[in-house]
Amino acid sequence: MEKQLTLIAASSPVATNAASSPVVTSAKQSDDVVHAILGSFQETKTISLQLSDNDFPVRITSTPSDYIGPSIQIAVAILSAAAGAMVIIWQMRKQKTLADIQHLANVKAELRLDAYRDFQIVNRNFCDTHTVDVENLIRFIRSAFSGAIEQYKNIHFQAPLPQRAPAFMEAITKHSQDAIAFIFFLERYDSLLPRFEVYNLALNSALHDVQRTSMELFYVLLKWLPIDNPNFSKVAGALPLVHAPIITEEALSEFNIAAAPLEKALGQLQSWTSDLAVDVQNHLLGDYADKQVIKRKPIDNTFFTISIDPDKSVALTKYFKEETEWGRNVTRVNQEVAASMKTGQN
């Protein structure tokens, strides 16, 4: 009588050997063979063993494959679900990336608008107030000198001029403070204005010239403008003026000689801040504006145009660093500081 036993084992080359193995002479040996077959298989299969009452031979009679179809379907379903999940994750990451890019663009746009608003405040303060005051004051003083000369020719008398040298220096100081605000603006928004270093150099150079030439004119004004007596209201009989010279042709000539370099420096500063306004607007608002603002084209090359265009800014940078008085002073100071530090280290 034969007994049929169905077992679950892992597929292996041992199965073939088991099928052709000699007759097993005992139940214990049969069990050992079965365990050997089961332990050596790697893929799950159904194994049918026929055992006789006498010698219990063991052989594989069949390997059913009815489970393969459902297993493939399950695997396909799992892979499809995994692929779908990966697509969803990819889409979510892509959407997040696009959202991050849009957020950064919005933040940058807001920063640019804030920067331009700040620039408008700086530019308005500079153009509408103290610059006009200084230029007008120079014109008024020149006109007053000419009028005083004509008055003295006609009646041999001059009324004291209303202008004062300290008032002139006060106007220069306010003008310089407003101009320095442009430099502070450039430093504050340096990350948004990566090619604007040339303007920093130009404005520093122009301000240096304004300060130097204004002092030269100030000394001329001290010589020829009236000086009020600080004790006039405190001391009885004191004269209202401690200095009231007669304005002559010599005075007017000295004034014009001293005023010309200052007027040039003021004109350059005014021109270059105007160029800065154009480049700032084109750079910060270029993505939103309908057109670019056109740069000025000066007739007099004394008031040449500053530009952030690479082909022009390189030459301008070299000019301001090497050919202007301010640039040479900066180079000299840096060399002196470096030499001093080197000496201190030794």
- Residue 113: half-sphere exposure toward Cβ, Cα within 13 Å: 9
Q: Which residues of the chain have pLDDT under 70?
A: 1-69, 96, 98-100, 102-103, 105, 129-132, 346
Let me know if residue 94 belongs to a domain: no
The answer to whether residues 121 and 44 belong to one domain is no
Q: What is the pLDDT of residues 31-84, one digit of tens each?
A: 554 455 445 444 444 444 444 455 445 444 444 555 566 777 777 778 777 777
The answer to whether residues 126 and 196 belong to one domain is yes
Let me know if residue 103 belongs to a domain: no
Let me know if residue 173 belongs to a domain: yes
The answer to whether residues 46 and 144 belong to one domain is no
For the chain, the domain total comes to: 2
The answer to whether residues 134 and 219 belong to one domain is yes
Alpha-carbon separation of residue 80 from 67, 73, 125, 320 (angstroms): 20, 10, 68, 68
DSSP 233: T
> Which residue range is the domain that position 42 belongs to?
2-52
- What integer pLDDT is reported at residue 131 of this predicted model? 59
The answer to whether residues 168 and 282 belong to one domain is yes
Residue 277 to residue 156: CA distance in whole angstroms? 50
Strands 44-52 and 2-10: antiparallel
The answer to whether residues 129 and 30 belong to one domain is no
Let me know if residue 340 belongs to a domain: yes
Which residues make Cβ contacts (< 8 Å) with residue 127, sequence separation at least 6? 273
For residue 176, count other CB atoms closer than 10 A to its CB: 17
Let me know if residue 202 belongs to a domain: yes
The answer to whether residues 136 and 246 belong to one domain is yes
The answer to whether residues 23 and 158 belong to one domain is no
Domain-ending residue, one of 34, 52, 70? 52
Domain-ending residue, one of 52, 67, 84? 52
Q: What is the pLDDT of residues 311-322, one digit of tens each?
A: 899 999 999 999
Instruction: List the one residue out of 317, 311, 318, 277 whose CA is nearest residue 296.
Output: 277
Instruction: Provide the sign of the torsion angle of the four alpha carbons 273, 274, 279, 280, taken in this order.
Output: positive
Residue 285 to residue 288: CA distance in whole angstroms? 5
Q: Is-above-0.95 flag for pTM?
A: no
Let me know if residue 91 belongs to a domain: no
Residue 46 to residue 44: CA distance in whole angstroms? 7
Strand partners, 46: 8
Please list, residue by residue across 22-36, b when 16 or more beta carbons sit within 10 angstroms of its beta carbon and e when fewer do.
eebeeeeebeebbeb
- What integer pLDDT is reported at residue 280 of this predicted model? 95
The answer to whether residues 196 and 296 belong to one domain is yes
- What integer pLDDT is reported at residue 128 of this predicted model? 73
Strand partners, 215: none
